[in-house]
């Protein structure tokens, strides 16, 4: 063993004056599971693209299986046994599993006509390699995210891969699916395949990998054996900042509930939901995808109507027919899918932030007061430390964390009594995550009532003053964060002890 399968040294790459990589090195041994960690913008993706031949480096050397290469094209990288599984898996959703698996092989062999019998044989062989049980004729769009990923892995295996690079493979998976994926990764390792596992989740890095490399601002900041790593050093290397996070406890005397939900039910989504929420509280709701958590909070924001039960705001029963009604009642909502529900991606940062308060920024003629808009914007950029060079740029040019801060800014200007955040730090890097958590605590201490919906259990434990676990559309348990653990929460939400 210990023959290195990939060795890159001193890779530099810049894009139009921006130095994305400043002399990065990475070495992966045969049959090793190596973790590449770093925040958004640290250069992880660029490095992967250099290794897979998509980008040509400005400087540095690449050595694959002992062969030193000056230039590398994507086709050569594949021929040398390097496969990348991107976050979107690059599968064709409208084709069947079989077609997805066999198409590439057929194309590579330059055949003009499909031989369906052979395609089936290829596909059956591919899934058998990792013992993946799936209907070969099922369309890929009907599969779960985890299964789609397995299809992509099987496809990679068909090409006699020596190194499989997985770009944040767990970001959309449930705990259980992550476990299953890890088993697959281990089995690949036992076949002598090396894995480069890209992640910014520490727990996963610990669990799966033997060695790690951490990048920050396009430079190597740490590398070594995973055993030498702990939470604090990991977070420090990733961000260059020291963090201390204590659990949140409201220091207010418990007042009357701001929001009170009684026996709320929606057929097929959730049933018999009751809870109270007081000023200064941060209520954590956790549960798996499909537990009804998103449907519940969307009802509280007027997106859908409940079939029975009641919602009271400040002791008065209310009916919300639209989002507008909910906002008028002082409810704000940060949706779970920032990209499709939260933001207008190609529009400017400024427009995205002020859309909710346009009415207040108009002069007596009904025209927008541009100076007021710009002033408000610079105030938010400063207060939320949004890393925006220019508020007129499209919001999609920001990193995930900064995008989420823009969504939050929209609500901070409104007069809110309840703020609901659904998965507020999904796909957000560590630094921004701490910023968002700190902001939540600050808002709560000023008297806002907050609901945070998340399946990031450490996050729920760190932020919430009270936790409700949701499973199959119902609340099954209420917990105090001080007296519970991550594993207990995990058991409750999955129902698996």
Tokens of 335: 């949706």
Taking CB under 8 A as the binding criterion, the range among 111-119, 225-233, 266-274, 339-347 that sits at the site for another protein is: 339-347
Residue among 234 and 333 whose Cβ is closer to another protein: 333
β-partners of residue 175 are none
Residue 56 touches another protein, criterion: CB under 8 A: no
Report in angstroms how near the CB of residue 296 gets to another protein at its nearest.
Answer: 16
Residue among 62 and 326 whose Cβ is closer to another protein: 326
Identify the residue whose tokens are 């409104």: 414
Report in angstroms how near the CB of residue 371 gets to another protein at its nearest.
Answer: 6
Residue 295 touches another protein, criterion: CB under 8 A: no
Residue 219 touches another protein, criterion: CB under 8 A: no
Taking CB under 8 A as the binding criterion, the range among 161-169, 186-194, 352-360, 459-467 that sits at the site for another protein is: 352-360
Residue among 313 and 343 whose Cβ is closer to another protein: 343
* Distances in whole angstroms, Cα of residue 269 to Cα of each of 100, 173, 294, 304, 306: 33, 21, 9, 11, 10
Residue 386 touches another protein, criterion: CB under 8 A: yes
- Integer-rounded Cα Rg, in Å, for the chain is 25
One of 8, 388, 440, 450 touching another protein (CB under 8 A): 388
* SS3 assignment, position 116: helix
Distance of CA 21 to the CA centre of its chain: 23
Identify the residue whose tokens are 């046994």: 81
Phi/psi of residue 147, nearest 5 degrees: -70, -35
Report in angstroms how near the CB of residue 462 gets to another protein at its nearest.
Answer: 25
Taking CB under 8 A as the binding criterion, the range among 21-29, 67-75, 117-125, 351-359 that sits at the site for another protein is: 351-359
Residue 419 touches another protein, criterion: CB under 8 A: no
Number of residues that bind another protein (CB under 8 A): 54
Residue among 16 and 117 whose Cβ is closer to another protein: 16
163 within 8 A of 81, measured Cβ to Cβ: yes
Residue among 62 and 426 whose Cβ is closer to another protein: 426
Strands, DSSP E only, in 30-104?
33-37, 59-64, 67-69, 82-85
String marking each residue 253-292 x if it binds another protein according to CB under 8 A = ----------------------------------------
String marking each residue 300-329 x if it binds another protein according to CB under 8 A = -x-x------------------xxx-xx--
Residue among 176 and 324 whose Cβ is closer to another protein: 324
One of 79, 267, 393, 438 touching another protein (CB under 8 A): 393
Q: What residue spans of 191-268 are helical by DSSP H?
A: 202-208, 231-239
Q: Exposure of 384 by Cβ count < 10 A (0-12 exposed, 13-18 middle, 19+ buried)?
A: buried
Sign of the torsion formed by the C-alpha atoms of 442, 445, 449 and 451: positive
225 within 8 A of 35, measured Cβ to Cβ: no
One of 2, 3, 18, 246 touching another protein (CB under 8 A): 18
Residue 184 touches another protein, criterion: CB under 8 A: no
For residue 82, the 8-state DSSP code is E
Q: What is the rounded CA–CA span in Å between residue 490 and residue 283?
A: 17
Residue 415 touches another protein, criterion: CB under 8 A: no
One of 57, 287, 330, 391 touching another protein (CB under 8 A): 391
* Distances in whole angstroms, Cα of residue 376 to Cα of each of 104, 365, 416: 52, 20, 17
Sign of the torsion formed by the C-alpha atoms of 64, 66, 71 and 73: negative
Residue among 180 and 357 whose Cβ is closer to another protein: 357
Residue 392 touches another protein, criterion: CB under 8 A: yes
Residue 114 touches another protein, criterion: CB under 8 A: no
Residue 412 touches another protein, criterion: CB under 8 A: no
Residue among 56 and 228 whose Cβ is closer to another protein: 56
Phi/psi of residue 314, nearest 5 degrees: 50, 40
Q: Exposure of 415 by Cβ count < 10 A (0-12 exposed, 13-18 middle, 19+ buried)?
A: exposed
151 within 8 A of 101, measured Cβ to Cβ: yes
Report in angstroms how near the CB of residue 395 gets to another protein at its nearest.
Answer: 10
Residue among 129 and 372 whose Cβ is closer to another protein: 372
Q: What is the rounded CA–CA span in Å between residue 255 and residue 249?
A: 15
* Distances in whole angstroms, Cα of residue 30 to Cα of each of 81, 85, 206, 269: 12, 19, 19, 48
Residue 110 touches another protein, criterion: CB under 8 A: no
Taking CB under 8 A as the binding criterion, the range among 108-116, 162-170, 279-287, 365-373 that sits at the site for another protein is: 365-373
Residue among 238 and 326 whose Cβ is closer to another protein: 326
Identify the residue whose tokens are 């040019």: 397
Residue among 80 and 448 whose Cβ is closer to another protein: 448
One of 1, 2, 3, 17 touching another protein (CB under 8 A): 17
Q: What is the rounded CA–CA span in Å between residue 85 and residue 150?
A: 10
Residue among 33 and 386 whose Cβ is closer to another protein: 386
One of 54, 105, 136, 374 touching another protein (CB under 8 A): 374
DSSP 266-320: ETTTEEEEEEEEETT-EEEEE--TTSSHHHHHHHHTTSS--SEEEEEETTEEE--
Q: Which stretches of the chain bind another protein, using CB under 8 A?
A: 15-18, 20, 41, 301, 303, 322-324, 326-327, 333, 335, 340-348, 351, 355-356, 358-359, 362, 366-368, 370-371, 374-375, 377-378, 381-382, 385-394, 397-398, 410
């Amino acid at each position: 063993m210990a023959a290195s399968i990939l060795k890159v040294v001193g890779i530099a790459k810049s894009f139009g004056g921006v130095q994305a990589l400043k002399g990065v090195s990475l070495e992966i041994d045969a049959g090793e599971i190596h973790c590449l960690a770093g925040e958004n913008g640290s250069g992880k993706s660029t490095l992967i693209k250099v290794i897979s031949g998509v980008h040509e480096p400005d400087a540095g050397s690449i050595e694959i299986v002992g062969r030193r290469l000056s230039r590398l094209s994507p086709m050569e990288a594949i021929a040398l046994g390097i496969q990348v599984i991107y976050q979107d898996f690059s599968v064709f959703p409208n084709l069947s599993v079989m077609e997805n698996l066999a198409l590439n092989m057929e194309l590579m062999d330059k055949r003009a006509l499909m031989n369906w019998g052979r395609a089936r044989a290829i596909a059956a062989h591919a899934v058998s390699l990792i013992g993946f049980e799936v209907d070969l004729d099922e369309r890929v769009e009907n599969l779960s995210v985890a299964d789609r990923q397995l299809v992509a892995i099987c496809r990679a295996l068909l090409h006699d891969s020596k190194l499989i690079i997985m770009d944040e493979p767990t970001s959309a998976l449930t705990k259980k699916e992550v476990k299953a994926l890890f088993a697959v990764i281990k089995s690949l390792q036992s076949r002598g395949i090396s894995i480069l596992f890209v992640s910014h989740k520490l727990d996963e890095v610990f669990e799966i990998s033997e060695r790690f490399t951490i990048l920050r601002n396009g430079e190597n900041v740490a590398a070594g054996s995973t055993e030498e790593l702990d939470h604090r050093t990991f977070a420090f290397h990733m961000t260059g900042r020291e963090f201390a996070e204590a659990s949140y406890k409201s220091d207010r005397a418990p007042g009357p509930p701001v929001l009170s939900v009684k026996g709320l039910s929606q057929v097929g989504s959730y049933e018999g939901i009751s809870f109270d929420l007081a000023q200064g509280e941060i209520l954590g709701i956790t549960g798996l995808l499909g537990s009804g958590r998103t449907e519940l909070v969307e009802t509280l924001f007027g997106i859908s109507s409940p079939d029975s039960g009641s919602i009271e705001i400040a002791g008065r029963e209310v009916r919300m027919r639209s989002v507008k009604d909910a906002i008028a009642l002082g409810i704000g909502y940060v949706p779970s899918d920032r990209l499709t529900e939260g933001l207008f991606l190609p529009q400017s940062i400024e427009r995205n932030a002020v859309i909710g308060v346009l009415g207040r920024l108009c002069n007596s003629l009904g025209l927008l007061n541009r100076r007021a808009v710009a002033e408000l914007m610079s105030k938010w950029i400063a207060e939320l430390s949004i890393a925006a060079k220019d508020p007129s740029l499209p919001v999609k040019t920001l990193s995930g964390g900064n995008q989420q801060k823009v969504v939050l800014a929209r609500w901070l200007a409104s007069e809110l009594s309840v703020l609901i955040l659904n998965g507020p730090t999904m796909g957000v890097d560590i630094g921004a995550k701490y910023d968002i958590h700190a902001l939540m605590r600050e808002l709560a201490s000023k008297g806002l009532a907050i609901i945070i919906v998340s399946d990031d259990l450490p996050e729920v434990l760190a932020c919430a003053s009270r936790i409700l676990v949701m499973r199959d559309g119902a609340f099954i348990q209420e917990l105090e964060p001080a007296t519970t653990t991550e594993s207990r929460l995990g058991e409750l939400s999955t129902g698996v002890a």
